[in-house]
Structure 1
Amino acid sequence: MSHFEEIEVGARRTLGSHTFTREEIIAFAQKYDPQPFHLDDEAASRTHFGSLVASGWHTAAMWMKCFVADRTHDAKARAGRGEPAVPLGPSPGFRNLRWLKPVYAGDTLTYATEVRAKSPSKSRPGWGLLTAYNSGVNQHGDLVIDFESTVFVPRRG
C-alpha cells in the first residue's frame, strides 16, 4: 500500500487465491453459518444448490485473508528495500456486497481489488478516503462475490 497521493484511480491488484475444501466449508459453517446446504452433503443435494456450498460469509472472509496476506507481503517487500511500511487506517464500511454464484467444494476463487475513487478526508486531516471495488472470480472466470469498500489511507505529510 502506498500513501494517498501515490495511489492511482483504476489501479488493480490481484490479492491471491483460495481453494474451498469440503472439510473447511463444513468447519466454517459449524462455527458461523449452520445451514443444511453448508453442513451436510445429502441435505445440500436436496436444495436448489444441488450439493454442498460455502457460506457467503466464508467467501468474504477468504477475501479478507488474501487482502491481509497481500498487505503483509507488501510490508515485507518495503522493509527489504529499506522503506517504511504505510499503515492502513480504519474502514468506515462497505456496501453492495453481492454473492452472485455459489461456491462449491473444490472451487478456487481469485480475489482482487481495484481503486475506484479517492478524496481527501474532510474529518481527518492527514488522511484520504479510498473507495475500491473488490471481487472474487472462480476457476471458470465467473464473478461470484463483489462489494465496494472504503478505507482511510495516510497522506504524505
Structure 2
Amino acid sequence: MPTYYEDIEVGDTYSFGDRTISKAEILEFAEQYDPQTYHVDEEAAEDSLFGELIASGWHTASLCMREFVEHVADEAWLGARGIDDLRWIKPVTPDDTLSMTVEIVDKRPLEDDPTIGHVDTRLTAYNQDDEAVITWIGLGIVARRDSDES
C-alpha cells in the first residue's frame, strides 16, 4: 500500500541498511564515474590526504539513494526537486557496512496543485562504527490521496 502525503508526519523516522561496500565495487564505480587516484589506485591512495583507497562520494550517495528507494520511496513518491546540504562527512573504505536513517523534517501541500505535496527528508548514513559518513536533505514530491478517498 502506498505511503501518501497524508500518511507522513514530520518526525517520522526510518532506519535500514547494513550494506557492505567491497573494494571491487569502489573500483568499478570510480573507474567509470570518478577516476580520481584515491578511488582507483591503492598505491596512490596511500600517498593521498586519505591514506587509503576510498569510495567516491557520488558512489556513497548512489548507494544511499538505492537503499532509500528500496525502503522508503514507494510508488506515491513521485520524484524530487533536488537535494540540499549534501555533506560527505567521513570517507567510506572497502568493507565498510553502511546503515541509514531517514527523518521527515518538513512537509507542505502545494496550493496550486492539490495532487502532490513536498516532503523533505534528512538522510544520514553511518558506518559499522556508528560514525556518520554522509548526510543530505532530500526535497521529495509525494502524491496526495484523491479528495474523494479521504
Kindly report which structure 2 residues correspond to 1:96-135, keeping only aligned pairs within 5 A, or say none. 96-135=85-124
Classify the secondary structure of the residue corresponding to 2:44.
helix
Structure 1 position 27, deviation (Å): 0.5
- Per the alignment, residue 42 of structure 1 pairs with 43
How far apart, in 2, do the equivalents of 1:71 and 1:118 lie? 15
Shift, 1:87, TM fit:
2.3
- Counterpart residue number, 1:27: 28
Identical positions, percent: 38
More strand by share: 2
Matching of residues 4-15 of structure 1 within 5 Å: 4-15=5-16
Name the counterpart of 1:81: none
Of 109-118 and 13-22, deviating more is 13-22
Q: Paired residue for 1:148? A: 137
**How many residues are aligned here?**
145
Distance 2:34 2:85 in 1: 20
Shift of 1:123: 3.5
- Give the number of the structure whose residues are more often helix, by fraction: 1
| CA deviation vs aligned residue, 1:73-115 (integer Å, no higher than 9, x gap) | xx6xxxxxxxxxx421121111110000011111111122110
1:64 corresponding residue in structure 2:
65
Q: Is residue 55 of structure 1 aligned with residue 56 of structure 2?
A: yes
Asked whether the equivalents of residues 17 and 66 of structure 1 are also in contact (C-alpha less than 8 Å), the reply is no
Q: Does 1:94 align with 2:83?
A: yes
Q: How far apart, in 1, do the equivalents of 2:142 and 2:104 lie?
A: 12
Deviates more, 1:46-55 or 1:62-71: 62-71
Q: Is the 1:127–1:155 contact (alpha carbons within 8 Å) kept by the matching residues of 2?
A: yes
Give unpaired runs (5+ residues) of structure 1: 76-85
Question: Secondary structure of the residue that 1:47 maps to in structure 2?
Answer: coil
Report how far residue 71 of structure 1 moved. Answer: 4.6
Q: Which stretches in structure 2 are left out of the alignment for 5+ residues?
A: none
**Alignment partners' CA distance in 2, 1:104 and 1:95:** 24
Contact 2:14/2:72 (8 A) holds in 1: no
